Amino acid sequence: MEPVDRSTIWPYREGEPGQFFYQRYAHPTGVEAEQALGELDGGRALLFSSGMGAVTSVILGLLEPGARIALADGAYYGVERLFRTELTRWGVDVVEFDQTGPPPEGVQLVWLETPSNPLLSFPDLAASVEAAHAQEARVVVDATAATPVLLRPLEHGADIVVHSATKYLGGHSDVLLGVAVCRSEDDHRRLLEFRGHTGVVAAPDPAWLLLRGLQTLTVRVERQSASALEVARRLQAHPAVERVRYPGLGDERAARYMRSGFGGLLSFDVAGGAEAARSVETSTHLIKNATSLGGVHSVLETRRRWEGDRVPEQLVRLSVGLEPVDELWADLEQALPGG
Ligand code: PLP
């Protein structure tokens, strides 16, 4: 890793701008991070100021006004909200579909999420890519919860991968960033241009923190996946838990596409409804009651407060961190009804 370079300007050489001349267009720390991210996902990466910055740029930068988008139902609620509020104002038409089957006809872009947050549905990637490409639509995969350690959607025919780098890629809950990784040179060039025009850029310090986080990405994700699988199995056997959602509990599509684990994100329904779920989220000690996911510390929360009836009222989302799994389980067990 090079030291962070916070310059906003670099001198011209012999009267001409070089690769770096003004921070909004490119800076050395950002380019270093993009090279690392591009290698991880097998494409050309661009950093953005947040995950939502990356999502917005992909849609507004690559589509024409009035475009029709097939959006996986259960995709991250912030994406759904962006599409339904801001983008529909610009004439973008959104049609939701069940991502476990093929996408609808007549769209210019198919938006998938692997696995979805927080319902953990997993798309049929091959079927979606085939159906999308048959109608010349791009496939974008939000692989935030999988990370390139477990899934590289470009290898399965997707055109663009996006991540909220705020989650596992940064990994320490101290940096807000997004990334889009493109298969095609044209998409990459267009998004670079769009980012420069709009200024949805990542600053050097977050980019440097991301580079530091990436150094431990694989060990973190493997450990989080192993712990999450163990916690999911124990939750499934617990009498106060009605349902556990985790791709490692027999999801055949996820097993076909994910390697060496199923990630650190899971959700479960607490028997006894909303009140029982609220009691769980306020009764853990080691596991903090906080939002987000992908950090080294475990966090959990009921999602109804944010997502309304998109999720069951008794659903608790858990992001498993790096704590010893027996300590995590002891904390959950005492917080669950009967504990
Ligand atoms: N995509 C997914 C799956 C997410 O979980 C999130 C944030 O929670 C985002 C995108 C948006 O990322 P950010 O919060 O970095 O803007």
Got the DSSP string for 75-126?
Answer: S-HHHHHHIIIIIHHTT-EEEEE-TTSPPPSS-SEEEEESS-TTT-----HH
Residue 239: asked if its preceding bond is cis (omega within 30°), the reply is no
The three-class DSSP label of residue 2 is: coil
Q: How far apart are CA 287 and CA 284, in angstroms?
A: 6
pLDDT of residue 327: 98
Among 41, 124, 138, 142, the one annotated catalytic: 142
Give yes or no: 76 in active site.
Answer: yes
The active-site residue out of 76, 168, 246, 257 is 76
Site to substitute for ligand 1 among 164, 301, 317, most atoms within 8 A of C-beta: 164
CA of 50 to the centre of ligand 1 (A): 8
Tell me if 113 sits within 8 A of 141, measured CB to CB. Answer: yes
84 is catalytic: no
Looking at residue 50, its pLDDT comes to 98
CA 31, distance to chain mean position in Å, is: 21
Determine the pLDDT at residue 251: 96
Q: For a pocket test of ligand 1, which of 117, 122, 147 has the largest count of ligand atoms closer than 8 A to its C-beta?
A: 117
- pLDDT attached to residue 1: 87
For the CA of 178, the closest atom of ligand 1 is 15
How many beta carbons lie within 10 A of that of residue 300, not counting itself? Answer: 25
Pocket of ligand 1 (CB under 6 A): 50-52, 76, 78, 113, 117, 142, 144-145, 164, 166, 176, 178
Q: What's the pLDDT score for residue 7? A: 98
Ligand 1 mean position, distance from CA 334 (Å): 30
- At which residue do the structure tokens 């909004």 appear? 24
The protein residue whose alpha carbon is closest to atom 15 in ligand 1 is 51
Angle at 210 between CA 2 and CA 35, to 5 degrees: 65
Sign of CA dihedral 131, 149, 82, 159: negative
What local confidence, expressed as pLDDT, does residue 79 receive? 98
63 phi/psi in degrees, rounded to 5: -105, 160
CATH numbers and ranges of domains, the chain: 28-214 (3.40.640.10), 217-335 (3.90.1150.10)
254: tokens are 């996820």
Active site residue 310: no
What's the pTM value of the predicted model, to 2 decimals? 0.98
Q: Which two tokens stand for residue 339?
A: 């504990």
| Catalytic residue check, 309 | no
Ligand 1: which of 49, 52, 59, 112 to mutate, judged by most atoms within 8 Å of the beta carbon?
52
Contact 264, 297 (CB under 8 A): no
Helix residue spans in the chain (DSSP H): 28-41, 51-62, 77-82, 88-89, 125-134, 147-150, 185-198, 204-214, 217-236, 252-257, 273-281, 304-307, 325-335
pLDDT by residue for the chain (339 residues), tens only, comes to 899 999 999 999 999 999 999 999 999 999 999 999 999 999 999 999 999 999 999 999 999 999 999 999 999 999 999 999 999 999 999 999 999 999 999 999 999 999 999 999 999 999 999 999 999 999 999 999 999 999 999 999 999 999 999 999 999 999 999 999 999 999 999 999 999 999 999 999 999 999 999 999 999 999 999 999 999 999 999 999 999 999 999 999 999 999 999 999 999 999 999 999 999 999 999 999 999 999 999 999 999 999 999 999 999 999 999 999 999 999 999 999 998
